[in-house]
């Protein structure tokens, strides 16, 4: 009788151990590669202040997914590119804003800040798509 209880106890302990190992194995696996799309996005961080962008020239290949991170360090700005119908929201620095678009045509396209007269004051640059 004593022996029977011991055997069932060991059996139960073994089952728990196996379950724990299987459980642990699944949870230690890295998450599925669901960020593949993210890695094919060409990301540019552009610093904005009164009244310029840095860098003022960025390059991409036709078909690239382009992500612009506007790092506005000072003033009220946005980042706009008409030809790709893309713009960030207007933000008061220090703040960041983002926009993503597909560079689906080649050429040199001017981007700019659409706030007030900032564009005319030199707050612009070029995206060159090759």
Residue placing its CB nearer to Cu ion in the complex, 102 or 114: 114
Under the binding rule (CB under 5 A), the answer on residue 87 touching Cu ion is: no
Rounded CA-CA distance 74/89 in Å is: 15
Between β-strands 57-60 and 124-129, what pairing exists: parallel, antiparallel or unpaired? Answer: parallel
Residue listed under structure tokens 């119908």: 85
**Residue in 46, 58, 66, 77 binding Cu ion, rule: CB under 5 A:** 77
Between β-strands 76-77 and 91-92, what pairing exists: parallel, antiparallel or unpaired? Answer: antiparallel
Shortest spacing between CB 50 and Cu ion, in angstroms = 7
Q: Could you say which residues in the range 97-126 bind Cu ion, by CB under 5 A? A: 113, 115, 118, 123
Terminal-residue alpha carbon distance, the chain: 82
Q: Could you say which residues in the range 46-65 bind Cu ion, by CB under 5 A? A: none
User: Interface residues with Cu ion (CB under 5 A)?
Assistant: 77, 113, 115, 118, 123
């Amino acid at each position: 009788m004593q022996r029977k209880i011991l055997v069932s106890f060991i059996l139960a302990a073994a089952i728990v151990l196996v379950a724990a190992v299987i459980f642990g194995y699944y949870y230690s696996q890295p998450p599925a590669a669901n960020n593949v799309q993210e890695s094919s996005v060409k990301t540019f961080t552009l610093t904005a202040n009164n009244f310029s962008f840095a860098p003022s020239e960025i390059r991409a290949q036709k078909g690239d997914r382009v992500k612009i991170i506007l790092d506005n360090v000072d003033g009220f700005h946005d980042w706009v590119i008409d030809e790709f119908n893309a713009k960030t929201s207007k933000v008061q620095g220090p703040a960041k804003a983002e926009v993503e678009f597909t560079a689906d045509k080649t050429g040199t396209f001017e981007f700019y800040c659409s706030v007030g007269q900032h564009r005319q004051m030199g707050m612009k640059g070029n995206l060159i798509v090759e």
